[in-house]
Structure 1
Amino acid sequence: MLFPQIRLQSTFAQTELQIQKPVQQIEQPGAELSIEQPKAELTMRRIPGRLTIDQRQAREDMDLKSVGRRIEEAAQLGRQDWLAGLARVAQDGNEMMRIENGGGAITRQAKRNSEGPQKEFNIGWIPSHFSVKIDYEPGKVDIDWQNHKPVIDAKINKLVHEYTPGTAQVNLANHPSLEIDFENLRHVGTGGYEQKI
């Protein structure tokens, strides 16, 4: 006995993809940098120190006097001696005029004029202490400077970016299909009618 059969044969749909990858290019140019450093300005003013040494007194103590100083001392000594002599002569004359006070004026004057002054002696230093005068004015240095800031110029370059987007195309490679096949299929009708399908 043959049983009726239905046969189904199907084919699935198949897709295909065509992909083009994206392309991206990135380039970063370096920055342009220029730096200039102006020199600092420096000015210096110097006042030199001054040392003065006065040794005239020490030289005079050692009898190393200048001609002008010797003339000055001689003139001063001559004037003092002249005044002293004038005073002595006046005193002697006064004594001689007053003979009423008693005699002996000539004897006293002779004794006084014949004896010199008593000599004095003591320890001394040649030259004397602190006879050399030293004076010092220290020097000065004035320093003035002016510094300058650096001049910086920076130029930033933009990023170079190129981008090509990717694409994807979807196509149907095989269409779906369904095949139906019948076997042993019969139609039996009234009155004994039979038909094979």
Structure 2
Amino acid sequence: MRIPQIQMESQQARIAIQTVPGRQSIQQPQADLQIEQPQADLKMRTTPGKLTIDQSQAWEEMNLKSTFKAIKENAVKGSQKVMEGIARVAQEGNEMIEIQNGQNAYVEQAKRQANPPMPEVNITWVPSPFAVKTHYQPGGVDIQFQPRKPRIDATIRKPIMNYSPGDVQIQLAQRNHLKIDLVK
């Protein structure tokens, strides 16, 4: 004997999905930009430095004096030598008066004139150190600066945007069904 059997046949439902993607485009036009930079105001004033050099002492030490100064110094020296000569002659006259006291004035005077004292010798630098005098007065610089701000004109442009929305279509591609058979 055969036992009846139940046969079931099923089919699942299937769906079909179709998509159209969305599209977006963005364009950004460049802005109009104008920049102008005015020149700054700059004023400069300089005072030159001043250098003074005094060489008069060095020239005098090298015996290169002005005519008037040389005449004046030589007149003073000449007057001094004349006075020294008068004093010497007066002293020699006084020594000769003393001859009666038994002194031999002629011999003493002859010895002095024949053997004068040695002149002093000394090494010196001509001209002496620091004989040239210098003085420097530094100059100056006065700077006045006035900056100017730049002028900026900017025209902003809005972006251009295009958007196409996407689409999704859903359909039933296959229906579900269930078939039941009884097989004997």
Give me the TM-score of the superposition, normalised by structure 2. 0.48
Higher relative contact order (CA 8 A, sep 6+): 2
Structure showing greater radius of gyration is: 1
